[in-house]
Amino acid sequence: MTDKIAIIGFGNIAKAIITPLLDKKLIQPENVFCLLKSEKSFENIKKNYKYNINVYRSSSLESKIIWDCQVKLLSVKPQHLNDIIEPENIQIKDNLLVSILAGVSINSLTHKFPNHKCVRVVTNIPITVGKGLTGIAWGENLTKDQKDFTKKLFENTSKLYEFPEDYLDIFLALTSSGPAIIALIIEALSDGGLSGGLPKTLSEELVMEMILGTISLIKENKLTTSQLKNLVTSPGGTTISALRVLEKKSIRSALIESIVSASNRSKEFS
């Protein structure tokens, strides 16, 4: 894929991106260069990561080697972006920088890393189990090879979508914040089962299996969500009774506003 790749920050998402490439021998461990700020993270990767990649503390002089890599995956937290400084005397121009930072625009990335062609990517936590959703917005003047490489970074663990950058904030709200919202819904429904006398673990299992079955039913039969709702809602029955409570509590509106709020927060980061 490439001779060298630098990983700036190495959290769960970065590991989920790089590890399958190492597993499939698309990248060799000796060609992966990882830059970490915290001593704890440095020691953890050195001791516990299954591949012997090159790991550097950001404070070390030898860490400058990462700027010689053709490709950089930027995966620090957005609030730590200002800690990353591109050297003035960088040798190779027009290297590829792929950012997975929430809310940081291509314009901001290009301004901060002027010797790089920048790509902004939004992905979500299910990428860690090979079920991710990844949205890609391209910066200017990228080569076909750079675009192809970016896709290869994510295609083993994600379904890919190429978007105008304007879509990425709402994509982030739906797909990256969404899992936490779904977890809250699962927790609340399972608490409902608990209130009815079911053991907690059994109630959670039933809720998750119900959700998986519902999704399969919708997809396999090409149903709309309204059609599914009508399929299980009978006059005067239990389902319409439950739906009435949700409508009275404005649950639909609350869910809509939660996505809008997450999208607006992503825009604020820019």
pTM of the model: 0.89
**pLDDT of residue 269 exceeding 90:** no
pLDDT of residue 79: 82
**pLDDT of residue 92 exceeding 70:** no
**pLDDT of residue 90 exceeding 80:** no
Q: 178-269 maps to which CATH number?
A: 1.10.3730.10
| Residue spans in the chain of domains classed CATH 3.40.50.720 | 5-165
Secondary structure E strands in the chain:
5-8, 32-36, 54-57, 71-74, 95-99, 116-122, 132-138, 158-162
- Residue pLDDT, tens place only, 151-196: 999 998 999 999 999 999 999 999 999 999 999 999 999 999 999 9
- The pair of structure tokens assigned to 200 is 């907690």
**Domain 5-165 listed as CATH 3.40.50.720:** yes
What residues have CB less than 8 Å from 37, skipping those under 6 apart?
A: 9, 57, 58, 59, 76, 80, 83
**pLDDT of residue 89 exceeding 60:** yes
**pLDDT of residue 36 exceeding 60:** yes
d(CA 29, CA 7): 12
| Residue spans in the chain of domains classed CATH 1.10.3730.10 | 178-269
| 49 close to 23: Cβ distance less than 8 angstroms | no
Quick count: other Cβ atoms within 10 Å of Cβ 207?
Answer: 20
